[in-house]
Amino acid sequence: MATADIHIAEDTHHDDHEHDHDHSTNFWTHYIFTTDHKMIAKQFLISGIIWALIGGALSVIFRLQLGFPEAQLGWLKPILGEWITAEGKIDPEFYLALVTMHGTIMVFFVLTAGLSGTFSNFLIPLQIGARDMASGFMNMLSYWFFFASSVIMLTSLFIETGPASGGWVIYPPLSALPQAVNGSGLGMTLWLTAMALFIVSTLLGGINYITTVINLRTQGMSFTKLPLTIWAFFLTAIIGLLSFPVLFSAALLLIFDRSFGTSFYLSDIYINGEALPNQGGSPILFQHLFWFLGHPEVYIVLLPALGITSEIIATNSRKPIFGYKAMIGSMLFIAILSFVVWAHHMFVTGMNPFLGSVFMLLTLIIAVPSSVKVFNYLTTLWKGNIRFTTAMLFSIGLVSFFISGGLTGIHLGNAAIDIQLHDTYFVVAHFHLVMGSASFFGMMAGVYHWFPKMFGRMMDAKLGYIHFWLTFVGVYLVFFPMHYIGIAGYPRRYYSFTNFDAFNSFSDLNMLVSIAAILTLAAQFIFLFNFFYSIWRGRKAPANPWQSTTLEWTTPVNPGHGNWPGEIPTVYRWPYDYSKPGAKDDFIPQHIPFSETPESNLDEENDLIKLEGAGSGKSIVIDEK
Amino acid sequence: MFEVIIAVGVLLLLVILYTLFRIGTLVNVVKGTDKKIVSTSNKVNAALMMIFLVAGLAFMFWYSWTYFDKYTLPVASEHGMLTDQLFWITTAVTGVVFVLTNVLLFWFSYKYQYKEGVRGKFFPDNTKLEMIWTIVPAIVLVGLVFTGLKAWNDITGEASEDAEVIEVMGYQFAWAARYPGVKDNQLGNYNYQLIDDQSGNLFGIDVTDENSYDDFTPLELHLPKGKEVLLNIRARDVLHSVFLPYQRVKMDAVPGMPTRFKFIATKTTQEMRDETGDPEFNYFLTCTEICGRGHFSMKMTVVVDEIEDYEKWKAEQQTWLKLNPDFLEQIPADKRELAKIKAGIENNELEASF
């Protein structure tokens, strides 16, 4: 694993990396400042796991407050210090900081960096047949910008005035005025700095993913032969590239308002006995800019998970994914629509109601490609020969969450219904299922599925099953009851409901949710044990443990820098030749030419045989035109 | 001492679990099951899929049915009845899809579990099927969109001329209401730079505007039953959001950008007390946009009266100017008499207070 063996093949346009084939690596260049996409992927994965634990722990702390409002939390004083009041309660401002940081961490640091960062990096070169990313150096920068961002965000948890506490959406004026809430002081400055670095990291990564997919596909790997994972990562990167700069501009204007006296978002404010001079700004402007990223962000988080799931469900159902082209089409359609639905987060913010009508129409259209995806998953399972690997279980769980959470989107996308449901627990239930849990399950599925390729060893299946069932049941127990709480009108981000008679009737459900949340977090330690134990002591993996068709399984069990020791295989067929009638095995990998499988070829595939001339560049040209 | 025992116990438990895990792994190696592609766990997982499906659905239907009254709020406004109806239509449609797709998901997983020697069906696409499940959801959604659009346009349309206008203002951490007064029925102008909590000008009322003299600012929000109310909503520090849960009203309060919401309340407080059987019941107004430390405590009592009681209550209210006579001095001299009349200030009262 330490030394890579890259041959300079005759076919030079495959080898973009001969210039850096001096691979005498040491600890620093191998594990820390590495340019190997596989190691960078692992760096993102481990960082993501650490962030997920922090984000999960924060949620458990505020669930303690919500589930057990009377409980004495003095025992948390050694960890939380002054944030526990003298009466043994969580400080109300710290409560807001907890929900803010939980949201920020989970959305950006876990489900964007941890998911895209890990699997786009790991799988793009391996599945398209490339030696590495287009720019290994930019890829390395991407991780280290993310690392710097992480350090700053983590630091903000420990400062005296506390981290940002205006909600993960950081709406001004609350986020702009330190006199409105303590977290809008230094905590907010650190938040904005961290996010600026984070955006740089995302853009560096995204440019790389796009370039790599377009330019470095191996011979024969046309866009119509790409696995759905790659399509998902590709579209995700494009969405990110187009929307993250808008968040950057929103953050920049907020920085100006906070530090340089501008009035982009501020107007007519009287606070702490003082009228501020700012006039003419609009808080709604910030919301538009924020959600112009914020909504595509949902798909940045979700599409990679859906791509991973497509791959895993096809492999373990031993069937081709149903409607390959429809799957690509619906992802493309979702990607485009994701840019024109942002204002459905703003129906009751005072935005012009006519805009509300337009965005309601566009939002509900997005349900069509989403439902196509669900039906295609179901049809892929139909008449399969299903192997319940842990990855498969998590993928099925994802589909269930995607359905359950997606359907409530039809309520919320309807402006008239949203009046009552906006900013209640119904919304919390909706997005935690469809975006949070679904994407988290996609990430877990990916880890279990590609662990053998990452570390050359297998994770323990039984522990995986226990982890899945505890998490799956736990997540439903946490988020399903929130629908009822939301229908009853409970607003989100409330520290306590005890001074409302109408909002004080669900202490039983809230307690159930909190207990389920604690158990679900506890169940993740089974995964942690399994993960780290298996890295060093897991069973040695075979070359193709899941009998999959994609290219990454043609590399050695422990691929070095450069991925394939010899030439990169040429691709002849699409990635879903599972259970093909007449074939010897129930899968035919992508690099097997049709000339070797006359028994299973379809008519049009027999015609392709004559194009399979030895190493001819011809087939590429024909495929791509 | 107690903590030490717990720590030892936890440690012991972890050691036992680890040992069990090791034994399990070794047994697998001895039996060779770790080399097989599919072990007996496949059957167990398939069965668990069905158990989860049945138990999950049973639990959901049981709770939804048994506790229906607990998780649904009675509705007390005209548009609220409409949006509630839309909510339940949407819930019925999505509910059917929810049950159907989840049943298919888990049932297929169970039914098509791995069997030795069986092959999956090579079924890569089918245009007809794909057309069906593109077009059918599209049609259903068109139906939902148009009913929703109609409701939305009605709700957000212009308020009628004779609507009862009330100003609601959010600030850290309370709500305040201002009524246009019984004499001119016009809200006076305001300017945020005139706000001064010390002297009692919470709203930044501009006393050079004649319309402000009879405005009053009660501590409870009173609403008439059966008459259209137009809330003029604003905030003076950060974002807040007006939420009247029973009236199905929600609209953000934005500093620098006044917003509106019009609605017709349909049940008086007394009627709702009778309906819920709770003599203590009160409507309330609360905040649904994160606004800082006291976000959860911005509650204002709301009273819905019969229209006659409402008018009577209005007539009884003391004007803001009368309660804050210091501001008389800031009124231009030529308007001072008018102000006294509109604010209901008798001259002798004034002298007494000076």
- What does the pLDDT read at residue A541? 93
A586 and B148 in contact by Cβ < 8 A?
no
Q: Of B264, B212, B57, B20, give the one whose Cα is nearest residue A480.
A: B57
- What does the pLDDT read at residue B84? 96
C-alpha B140: how far from its chain's center? 27
B63 and A350 in contact by Cβ < 8 A?
no
B42 and A387 in contact by Cβ < 8 A?
yes
In this structure, the strands spanning B283-287 and B300-305 are antiparallel
* Domain-located, residue A425: yes
Residue % of chain A over a pLDDT of 90: 83
Nearest chain B CA: its distance from A117 CA (Å): 30
Type of residue at A296 = P
User: Best residue in B295, B299, B300 to probe A by mutation, most A CBs within 10 Å?
Assistant: B295
Taking contacts as CB-CB distances below 8 angstroms, the residues of chain A near B22 are: none
- What does the pLDDT read at residue A315? 96
Q: Which residue of A has its CA nearest to B158?
A: A353
pLDDT band, very low/low/confident/very high, at A6 (cuts 50, 70, 90)? very low
pLDDT band, very low/low/confident/very high, at B34 (cuts 50, 70, 90)? low
A353 and B156 in contact by Cβ < 8 A?
yes
Residue A616 has pLDDT above 50, yes or no: no
Q: What is the pLDDT of residues A557-569, one digit of tens each?
A: 999 889 999 899 9
Could you say which residues from 545 to 564 on chain A have a Cβ atom under 8 Å away from some Cβ of chain B?
547
Could you say which residues from 271 to 330 on chain B have a Cβ atom under 8 Å away from some Cβ of chain A?
278, 280-281, 284, 286-297, 299
Taking contacts as CB-CB distances below 8 angstroms, the residues of chain B near A403 are: 97-98, 101-102, 105
Distance, in Å, from the CA atom of A277 to the CA atom of A262, rounded to the nearest integer, reads 10
Q: What is the CATH number of the domain that holds A387?
A: 1.20.210.10
Q: Which residue of A has its CA nearest to B171?
A: A271
In this structure, the strands spanning B283-287 and B240-244 are antiparallel
Residue % of chain A over a pLDDT of 70: 94
Taking contacts as CB-CB distances below 8 angstroms, the residues of chain A near B238 are: 173-174, 177, 180, 269, 271
Nearest chain B CA: its distance from A184 CA (Å): 10
Q: How much is the mean pLDDT over chain A?
A: 91
Q: Three-class SS string for A550-574? A: CHHHHCCCCCCCCCCCCCCCCCCCC
pLDDT band, very low/low/confident/very high, at A7 (cuts 50, 70, 90)? very low
Nearest chain B CA: its distance from A282 CA (Å): 7
Q: Which residue of A has its CA nearest to B258?
A: A350
B37 and A387 in contact by Cβ < 8 A?
yes
User: Best residue in A366, A417, A477 to probe B by mutation, most B CBs within 10 Å?
Assistant: A417
The domain segmentation of chain B, as residue ranges, is: 1-36, 164-353
Which homologous superfamily does the CATH classification assign to the domain defined by B164-353?
Cupredoxins -  blue copper proteins (2.60.40.420)
A180 and B294 in contact by Cβ < 8 A?
no
B32 touches chain A (CB under 8 A): no
A496 and B296 in contact by Cβ < 8 A?
yes
Q: What is the pLDDT of residues B262-308, one digit of tens each?
A: 999 999 999 999 999 999 999 999 999 999 999 999 999 999 999 99
Interior CA angle at B232 toward B228 and B237, to 5°?
Answer: 155
Indicate the residue of A93, A357, A404 with minimum beta-carbon distance to B153: A357
Taking contacts as CB-CB distances below 8 angstroms, the residues of chain B near A422 are: 250, 288
- What does the pLDDT read at residue B353? 52
Q: Which residue of B has its CA nearest to A393?
A: B45
B155 and A416 in contact by Cβ < 8 A?
yes
Residue B67 has pLDDT above 60, yes or no: yes
Indicate the residue of A319, A388, A414 with minimum beta-carbon distance to B123: A319
Q: Which residue of B has its CA nearest to A354?
A: B153
* Domain-located, residue A112: yes
Query: CA torsion, points B333, B334, B338, B341, in degrees to nearest 10?
Result: 40
pLDDT band, very low/low/confident/very high, at A110 (cuts 50, 70, 90)? very high
Task: Specify the 3-state DSSP secondary structure of B171.
Answer: strand
Mean pLDDT, range B122-141, rounded to an integer = 92
Residue % of chain B over a pLDDT of 70: 97
The number of residues in chain A equals 625
Residue A619 has pLDDT above 70, yes or no: no
pTM for the full predicted model:
0.93
Q: Of B22, B28, B56, B57, give the one whose Cα is nearest residue B41.
A: B28
pLDDT band, very low/low/confident/very high, at A622 (cuts 50, 70, 90)? very low
Mean pLDDT, range A561-582, rounded to an integer = 92
A174 and B290 in contact by Cβ < 8 A?
yes
A167 touches chain B (CB under 8 A): yes
Find the DSSP H helices in A422-545: 425-431, 438-455, 461-487, 507-537
Residue A183 has pLDDT above 60, yes or no: yes
- What does the pLDDT read at residue A193? 96
Q: What is the pLDDT of residues A309-320, one digit of tens each?
A: 999 999 999 999
User: Best residue in B16, B61, B71, B285 to probe A by mutation, most A CBs within 10 Å?
Assistant: B71
- What does the pLDDT read at residue B351? 54
Mean pLDDT, range B44-55, rounded to an integer = 96
Taking contacts as CB-CB distances below 8 angstroms, the residues of chain B near A320 are: 122-124
B102 and A403 in contact by Cβ < 8 A?
yes
Taking contacts as CB-CB distances below 8 angstroms, the residues of chain B near A386 are: 42, 46, 109, 112-114
B286 and A420 in contact by Cβ < 8 A?
no
B99 touches chain A (CB under 8 A): no
B83 touches chain A (CB under 8 A): yes
Residue B197 has pLDDT above 80, yes or no: yes
Distance, in Å, from the CA atom of A611 to the CA atom of A605, rounded to the nearest integer, reads 10
Say which residue, A624 or A470, is predicted with more confidence.
Answer: A470
Cα four-point dihedral sign A242, A243, A248, A249: positive
Q: Which domain holds residue A58?
A: 12-537
pLDDT band, very low/low/confident/very high, at A23 (cuts 50, 70, 90)? low
Type of residue at A245 = P
Mean pLDDT, range A422-426, rounded to an integer = 96
pLDDT band, very low/low/confident/very high, at A127 (cuts 50, 70, 90)? very high
* Domain-located, residue A440: yes
Distance, in Å, from the CA atom of A466 to the CA atom of A446, rounded to the nearest integer, reads 17
In total, how many domains does chain A have?
Answer: 1
Nearest chain B CA: its distance from A270 CA (Å): 5
Indicate the residue of B71, B90, B94 with minimum beta-carbon distance to A487: B71
Distance, in Å, from the CA atom of B95 to the CA atom of B92, rounded to the nearest integer, reads 5
CB pairs < 8 Å spanning A and B: 337
The DSSP annotation for A364-423 comes to HHTHHHHHHHHHHHHHHHTT--B---HHHHHHHHHHHHHHHHHHHHHHHTSHHHHHHHTT
A408 touches chain B (CB under 8 A): yes
B199 touches chain A (CB under 8 A): no
Indicate the residue of A93, A364, A375 with minimum beta-carbon distance to B133: A375
Buried b (16+ CB within 10 A) or exposed e, A470-489: bbbbbbbbbbbbbbbbbbbb
Distances (CA, A) of B257 to B142, B158, B231, B260, B287: 33, 17, 14, 10, 17
B75 touches chain A (CB under 8 A): no
Question: CB-based contacts of A28: which residues, under 8 Å, 6+ apart?
Answer: none
Ranked by mean pLDDT, the top range of A19-23, A595-599, B25-29, B83-87 is B83-87
Q: Which two tokens stand for residue A336?
A: 């485009």
Say which residue, A503 or A403, is predicted with more confidence.
Answer: A403
Mean pLDDT, range A46-50, rounded to an integer = 97
- What does the pLDDT read at residue A454? 96
Q: Please, are residues A291 and A345 in contact by the beta-carbon 8 Å criterion?
A: yes
Taking contacts as CB-CB distances below 8 angstroms, the residues of chain A near B284 are: 500, 502
Q: What is the pLDDT of residues A461-518, one digit of tens each?
A: 999 999 999 999 999 999 999 999 999 999 999 999 988 877 778 889 999 999 999 9
A46 touches chain B (CB under 8 A): no
Indicate the residue of B48, B49, B299 with minimum beta-carbon distance to A499: B299
Q: What is the pLDDT of residues A254-266, one digit of tens each?
A: 999 999 999 999 9
> Based on C-alpha coordinates, what's the Rg of chain B?
32
B354 touches chain A (CB under 8 A): no
- What does the pLDDT read at residue A28? 81
Lowest mean pLDDT of A109-118, A364-373, A615-624, B41-50, name the range.
A615-624
Q: Which two tokens stand for residue A442?
A: 């996609």
Type of residue at A526 = I
Residue A20 has pLDDT above 80, yes or no: no
pLDDT band, very low/low/confident/very high, at A14 (cuts 50, 70, 90)? very low
Residue A615 has pLDDT above 80, yes or no: no
Q: Please, are residues A269 and A278 in contact by the beta-carbon 8 Å criterion?
A: yes
Type of residue at B278 = D
- What does the pLDDT read at residue A561? 87
